[in-house]
């Protein structure tokens, strides 16, 4: 269940009067609740809301090597689990390449 925190316009006005001007922008950025709701707070265990697109880290050199190595292996048509042997071969190639 997703939780979307919000404040009513009345609560925002009251908070602005009660806090330093440094916090006014933070209060303004808080979403305004739909009509009829005064305040919605999210428990710590609630699923966090997304604030933007997920940023993927670039692949490591090892991941690139394994990807290219596995694509070159004849895995198609083999029984389930046969890829593990090829993965081990690719890992050994990587270790040898790193030692050289």
The domain spans of the chain are 6-40, 61-99
The answer to whether 96 touches 85, Cβ cutoff 8 Å, is no
Report DSSP state, residue 21: G
Query: Given this model, what pLDDT does residue 67 score?
Result: 93
pLDDT at position 51: 63
Task: Count how many residues are written for the chain.
Answer: 100
What pLDDT is recorded for position 46? Answer: 47
Q: Above 80 in pLDDT, residue 98?
A: yes
User: Residues of 64-99 as b/e, b for ≥16 C-beta within 10 angstroms?
Assistant: ebbeebeeeeeeeeeeeeeeeebeeebeeeeeeeee
Between these two residues, 48 and 75, which has the higher pLDDT value? 75
pLDDT of amino acid 45: 58
**pLDDT tens digit string along 6-62?**
888 888 888 899 988 888 888 888 888 887 778 777 776 545 556 667 778 899 999
């Amino acid at each position: 269940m997703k939780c979307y925190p919000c404040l009513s316009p009345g609560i925002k006005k009251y908070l602005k009067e009660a806090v330093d001007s440094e916090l006014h922008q933070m209060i303004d950025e808080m979403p305004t609740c739909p009509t009829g709701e005064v305040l919605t707070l999210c428990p710590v265990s609630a699923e966090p809301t997304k604030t933007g697109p997920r940023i993927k880290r670039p692949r490591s050199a090892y991941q690139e090597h394994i990807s290219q190595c596995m694509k070159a292996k004849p895995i198609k048509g083999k029984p389930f689990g046969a890829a593990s042997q090829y993965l081990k071969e690719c890992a050994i190639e990587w270790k040898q390449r790193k030692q050289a």
